[in-house]
Amino acid sequence: MRADKVSFCRVTALVCAACLFAALTVVPSAAEPVSMSPHRIVLNAEGQSEDVQAIISMPLPSGYALADYDVRLWLDGIEVAQAISFRYCYVDQNFLAGFDRTGLQTNPDVQAMAGETVPALVAGSYTAVNLEGDVFTKYFSGTDSVEIVAPGKKG
């Protein structure tokens, strides 16, 4: 009987830890306006564009500089990419998250979405620091839609 209680407590502790980790790393604090560029991912495209960008409209607090980030892309509820770049445009007050275009084109989950327009969720966090060493972390998410196109393949 005691072994069952210990096992139950361990499982409960693991579940609680997993929930806390998810809340701290995935659950955003507020929805932000997001615009995907391009709005269409052409699976067999070859070109000079190296990434698909998510333009996230939110300001960086005054006096802070971007220090770190963890930003991910979900298409139709499936995580398909982690940002390979994340920068701030002070002029437009937008963050620009870059996702590897080739990685998206070759992702089997994305390929399975060919012929569909799917919801795109961009979520994550960034950490910023000011000259005094104060650290600020912002959790965010936002949605747009993306059309997945495979010329010659019907969806």
6: its two tokens: 């210990």
Residue 58's pLDDT is what? 95
Contact 142, 32 (CB under 8 A): yes
Q: What is the pLDDT of residue 1?
A: 46
Residue type, 53: Q
Closest of 104, 45, 95 to residue 74, by C-alpha = 104
CATH (residue range 31-149):
2.60.40.3640
Q: What is the pTM of this model?
A: 0.77
Q: What is the DSSP letter of 115?
A: T
Per-residue confidence (pLDDT) for residue 30, from 0 to 100 = 61
Contacts of 153 (CB under 8 A, 6+ apart): 114, 115
Q: Please give the pLDDT value at position 5.
A: 47
Name which of 107, 118, 103 is nearest 155 in CA terms: 118
Tens-binned pLDDT, residue by residue, of the chain (155 aa): 455 544 544 545 444 434 434 444 444 456 899 999 999 999 987 776 679 999 999 999 999 999 999 999 999 999 999 999 999 999 999 999 999 999 999 999 999 999 999 999 999 999 999 999 999 999 999 999 999 998 765 54
Q: Residue 55 has what DSSP assignment?
A: E
